[in-house]
């Protein structure tokens, strides 16, 4: 479970901002809370939504999640001199040479962890991992100019001497089989899942793999598609690697090399629709997946990760969730996280959207609604919660937002071009 995530000097984010999934004292919509014994006086939220104008920095918050996850997952593969693909705030010359900073606080196996890192393109400037096995903070490692350890000192010192300046200790030590960092590494690898605003073959691959995993998984996917009223009665699919012999001879050598590596795949999906013919008989009509609507394709791509997240209690990050989807479909997906019969393992959802119809206090508590706004003078992103405005529980949040009461709207100077 995610507790909070902080970002500083990354893309449009200059000053430190924090997205928190710790609940406020709000007593509304109890189903939207995750009760945990790890936090003594607070609960966590099952979801959070981020609103803001285009170019205000909504996506950059989610890109920061993805950057940190990717860095943790791949850092151990870096060679000496490899650049870290970090993106500091560029509109202030003083920030360009400063490190980007990230901190994430999360719960894994009922233990709270706090992991932070700051990095330039050249090196890891500092890094730390704390955990709270008995409710008190304990250091697993801390790194700046030198390393400091409070546990397994000799073993960790031995490991640290093998970590390059541009490699995360969390990643390197885990690959060297140090068990005290493996739980935090596994949280990034398995629990934190990030999906962009556009469909990609990887998403479809995931759903196809689930579809073929077993009959139970297929039944769940078909049930979800049926509930979505897409008219699909059955579906079959497979993914296979294309061999180099199946590629046109005029394809570039770089593409052919990918085929040799097994990195070019063919996705074949067939959906079955049932109709009644003129004689009153039921007929099954197959459709190629490309002939389905874009909304149906988007829903199919999402539903595999969605079901997997709910089953395993993951944290799912989705940019522009409402892309190509009807409002009621979006509500259906969101409410799966707030339904205790569907979300039995404390899964969490964080997403961005422009769909103001979701600004409904029957769907979200006030502490679940967040906004991004860009400073017009400095171009930097601010992230803040609706809670800061203390709106009444009977307030029409959508109307207030569109009226500019909470900021985070585009400022259109003139509604005409000609």
The residue whose two tokens read 């009153």 is 280
Cα distances (angstroms) measured from residue 362 to each of 30, 32, 328, 352: 11, 11, 14, 18
Question: What are the φ/ψ torsions at residue 103 (nearest 5 degrees)?
Answer: -140, 135
Q: Are residues 29 and 91 in the same domain?
A: yes
What are the pLDDT digits (tens) for 27-77?
A: 889 999 999 989 887 899 999 999 999 999 999 999 999 999 999 999 999
Q: How far is CA 249 from the centre of its chain?
A: 39
CATH of the domain at 183: 3.40.50
Looking at residue 142, its pLDDT comes to: 97
Q: Are residues 121 and 239 in the same domain?
A: no
Residue at which a domain ends, from 283, 311, 339 = 311
Strands 124-132 and 138-143: antiparallel
Q: Are residues 168 and 212 in the same domain?
A: no
Confidence of residue 238 (pLDDT cuts 50, 70, 90): confident
Note whether 191 and 253 are within 8 A (CB): no
Pick from 108, 180, 189: nearest CA to 138: 180
Q: Are residues 344 and 395 in the same domain?
A: yes
Q: Are residues 77 and 122 in the same domain?
A: yes
Instruction: Domain of residue 410: give its range.
Output: 1-197+319-418
Residue at which a domain ends, from 280, 311, 342 = 311
What are the pLDDT digits (tens) for 300-315?
A: 999 999 999 999 999 9
Q: Are residues 21 and 122 in the same domain?
A: yes
Q: Are residues 336 and 405 in the same domain?
A: yes
Q: Are residues 185 and 37 in the same domain?
A: yes
Residue at which a domain ends, from 311, 342, 366 = 311
Confidence of residue 197 (pLDDT cuts 50, 70, 90): low
Integer Cα distance of 308 and 345 in angstroms: 11
- Of 200-209, 274-283, 336-345, 353-362, the one with minimum mean pLDDT is 200-209
Q: Are residues 164 and 65 in the same domain?
A: yes
Strands 111-119 and 100-108: antiparallel
Sign of CA dihedral 407, 409, 415, 418: positive
3-state secondary structure 203-265: HHHHHHHHHCCCHHHHHHHHHHHHHCCCCCCEEEEEEEECCHHHCCCCCCHHHHHHHHCCCCE
Looking at residue 41, its pLDDT comes to: 78
Q: Are residues 69 and 134 in the same domain?
A: yes
Percentage of the chain lying above the pLDDT 70 cut:
99
Looking at residue 264, its pLDDT comes to: 76
What are the pLDDT digits (tens) for 125-168?
A: 999 999 999 889 999 999 999 999 999 999 999 999 999 999 99
Q: Are residues 164 and 272 in the same domain?
A: no
Q: Are residues 263 and 146 in the same domain?
A: no
What are the pLDDT digits (tens) for 61-75?
A: 999 999 999 999 999
- Total number of domains in the chain: 2
Integer Cα distance of 15 and 98 in angstroms: 12
């Amino acid at each position: 479970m995610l507790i909070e995530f902080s970002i500083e000097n990354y893309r449009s984010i200059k000053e430190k901002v924090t997205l928190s999934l710790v609940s406020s004292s709000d007593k509304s919509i109890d189903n939207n809370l995750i009760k945990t014994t790890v936090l003594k006086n607070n609960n966590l939220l099952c979801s959070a939504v981020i609103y803001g104008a285009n170019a205000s920095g909504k996506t950059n918050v989610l890109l920061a999640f993805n950057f940190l996850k990717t860095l943790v997952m791949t850092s151990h593969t870096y060679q000496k001199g490899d650049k870290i693909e970090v993106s500091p705030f560029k509109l202030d010359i003083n920030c360009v040479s400063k490190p980007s900073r990230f901190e994430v606080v999360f719960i894994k196996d009922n233990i709270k962890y706090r992991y932070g890192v700051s990095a330039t393109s050249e090196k890891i400037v500092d890094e730390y991992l704390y955990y709270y096995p008995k409710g008190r903070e304990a250091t697993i490692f801390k790194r700046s100019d030198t390393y400091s350890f409070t546990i397994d000192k000799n073993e960790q010192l031995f490991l640290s001497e093998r970590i390059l300046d541009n490699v995360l200790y969390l990643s390197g030590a885990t690959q060297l089989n140090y068990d005290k960092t493996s739980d935090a590494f596994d949280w990034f690898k398995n629990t934190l899942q990030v999906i962009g605003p556009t469909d990609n073959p990887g998403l479809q691959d995931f759903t196809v793999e689930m579809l073929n995993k077993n009959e139970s998984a297929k039944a769940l996917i078909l049930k979800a598609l049926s509930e979505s009223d897409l008219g699909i009665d059955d579906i079959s699919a497979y993914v296979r690697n294309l061999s180099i012999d199946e590629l046109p001879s005029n394809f570039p050598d770089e593409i052919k090399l990918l085929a040799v590596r097994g990195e070019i795949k063919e996705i074949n999906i067939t959906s079955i629709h049932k109709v009644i013919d003129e004689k009153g008989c039921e007929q099954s009509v197959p459709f190629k997946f490309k002939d389905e609507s874009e909304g149906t394709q988007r829903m199919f791509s999402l539903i595999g990760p969605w079901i997997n997240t709910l089953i395993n209690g993951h944290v799912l990050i989705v940019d522009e969730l409402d892309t190509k989807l009807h409002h009621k479909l979006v509500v259906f997906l969101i409410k799966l996280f707030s339904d205790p019969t569907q979300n039995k393992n404390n899964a969490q959802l964080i997403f961005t959207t422009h769909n103001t119809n979701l600004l409904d206090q029957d769907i979200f508590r006030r502490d679940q609604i967040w906004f991004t706004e860009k400073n017009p003078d400095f171009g930097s992103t601010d992230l803040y919660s609706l809670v800061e405005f203390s709106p009444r529980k009977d307030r029409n949040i959508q109307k207030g937002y569109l009226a500019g009461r909470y900021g985070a709207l585009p400022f259109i100077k003139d509604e005409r071009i000609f």
